[in-house]
Amino acid sequence: MERLYCQRWQVELDLRNIKTTLGMAVLSCKTPQMCEKELWVYLLAYNLIRLLMAEAALRAGVLPRQLSFKHTLQIWVAWSRRQFLSGSGEDTATLFVLIAQIRVANRPGRIEPRAVKRRPKSYPRLDRPRQQARMEIEKHGHVKKLRA
């Protein structure tokens, strides 16, 4: 049972990485078809970062889960910009060494509270067309803030 909980924890961390670290908390597309495409792009980016982590872990002799996802993403972005701007074909071995430098701490038996951290917003949701909401503001003024 403990092993199953640890696997579930890893899945939750992976979803958090996709949503928060890669910026997929809110999809920007308007149609369902484009939202699906956007989701696939995020999953592709996630898998590419994980592939970099796996190669770096293999070369460093550690497990991929011991490397930081966010650090790998930051190193990749900086390295790819540098490669693009300089036009030099630097050895990728340097990239994998840089990725493997930072390790995540081993935290056995970690317990986290199951509670929502997000605070309520002080404004109501926009549940009608923006133009209609603008006309109502012109007519009646702004809605008073909700108290939390």
* 45-56 tens-digit pLDDT: 999 999 999 999
pLDDT tens digits, one per residue of 66-121:
999 999 999 999 988 887 666 555 678 888 999 999 888 776 676 667 777 666 76
End-to-end CA distance of the chain: 39
Measured CA distances, 92 to 26, 78, 87 (Å): 33, 13, 14
Q: Which amino acid is it at 139?
A: K
Query: Helices then strands (H, E): number in the chain?
Result: 5, 0
pTM, entire model = 0.68
User: Do 67 and 26 meet the contact criterion of CB atoms below 8 Å apart?
Assistant: no
Side chain identity, residue 76: W
d(CA 48, CA 117): 30
pLDDT at residue 33, as a whole number: 94
pLDDT at 140: 86
Write the single-letter amino acid at 132. Q
Span 130-134, average pLDDT: 89
Q: How far is CA 87 from the centre of its chain?
A: 29
